[in-house]
Amino acid sequence: NAIVYGNSIDVFTTVETLLNLGILGNRIHVVFTPPEPGASCFSDPEVEKAVATALKKAEVQVHHHCLLALMNNGENPDPLTSVTFTTDAETLNLQCGVFINLSNKAVDSEAFRSINDSFLVFDSRLVIDATFHTSDSSISAAGPLTKFSRSYYSDEWSNANFNSKEVGRDLAAMLLRLFDPTLEPAMETPPETERLVPLYGQAKIQGGKLPGGFHFLQVTTPSATQLTAPPVQQDSCLVTGRVETGNYFSLHLDSYEQVEALTCLSLKPLPLSNYLSLYGKQQQLLGQLSSRYQQGLIPDLH
């Protein structure tokens, strides 16, 4: 048996990969960790329903609200033959030949050892300032491995909340000035902004191929970790297609009628660059999209 443990989109893309490799669904166990309060893997109940139906159809065994307790009943885990989980009810013990743990994107032990040996400040993540500098000004860092110093009082924001490419371009622009003397010096930032963490505007993107053969894409506005996004008004949600027919498309407009989020679930490959270009566009630039949708003139957003 193969066990996939976690509660993220990675769980579902992994299951789809295992199924495509020819592993029978009844030999795959999906073990979900307890979800965070108010959190959802897909943030769209229609997508969740479609994936749950696909798992059931493939005869994949699904277990909810489980926490990893023991491997091989607490004995030598090599080779791994069984895994034990605690649940809301009785203990769950599963035999397995493969255990894929996707429950926590933690810092790799080798990376932590390197950071520690370099005497860099580490507080569950590598600590940086607003200009990517670590406690050693000659060492820069960015990405989900990092967090901003507590002196900013912004624990809810980190590089992981933003588009990785946008953060990477900002870091590259800063480093380029160290290697190219022909570049004009950067404009000095006002002193009052030195104690503010940088915020980015490009969309957060996730996607992949899900069980059932669905191609999935979700584009959302960056949001703070500890804050829940404000509910989108129903009249700002444009939906066409159905998950059952494999042509589902949901598009959300903010209070300024700009595209702030979109979700696609399709049985056909998605034109990603076209869909990603919709983010941030005013609906009037999209051919009066909102009014035409209300008039029933747009049966399919795909």
- 191 band by pLDDT with thresholds 50, 70 and 90: confident
Same-domain check for residues 145 and 208: no
Which of 86, 102, 118 is the last residue before a domain boundary? Answer: 102
Same-domain check for residues 28 and 97: yes
Residues of the domain holding 228: 204-294
Same-domain check for residues 94 and 123: no
Same-domain check for residues 236 and 258: yes
For 144-161, write each residue's pLDDT tens digit. Answer: 999 999 999 989 999 999
**Does some domain include residue 198?**
no
Read off the pLDDT of each residue in 226-243 and give the average, rounded to a whole number: 68
Same-domain check for residues 97 and 116: no
Q: What is the pLDDT of residue 38?
A: 64
Same-domain check for residues 114 and 98: no
Which of 102, 132, 149 is the last residue before a domain boundary? Answer: 102
Question: Are residues 22 and 37 in contact, defined by beta-carbon separation less than 8 angstroms?
Answer: no
Same-domain check for residues 273 and 255: yes
**Does some domain include residue 300?**
no
Q: What is the pTM of this model?
A: 0.86
**Is a pLDDT exceeding 60 seen at residue 24?**
yes
Domain CATH code at residue 79: 3.50.50.60
For 51-100, write each residue's pLDDT tens digit. Answer: 999 999 999 999 999 999 998 888 877 888 999 999 988 999 999 999 99
Can you tell me the distance from the alpha carbon of 34 to that of 36, in angstroms, rounded to the nearest whole number? 7
Which of 102, 136, 153 is the last residue before a domain boundary? Answer: 102
Can you tell me the distance from the alpha carbon of 172 to that of 169, in angstroms, rounded to the nearest whole number? 5
- 234 band by pLDDT with thresholds 50, 70 and 90: very low
Can you tell me the distance from the alpha carbon of 232 to that of 261, in angstroms, rounded to the nearest whole number? 10
For 244-279, write each residue's pLDDT tens digit. Answer: 889 999 999 998 999 999 999 999 999 999 999 999
Two tokens at 89?
């009810």
For residue 75, how far is the Cα from the chain centroid?
34
Structural domains counted in the chain:
3
Q: What is the pLDDT of residue 182?
A: 83
Can you tell me the distance from the alpha carbon of 115 to that of 109, in angstroms, rounded to the nearest whole number? 10
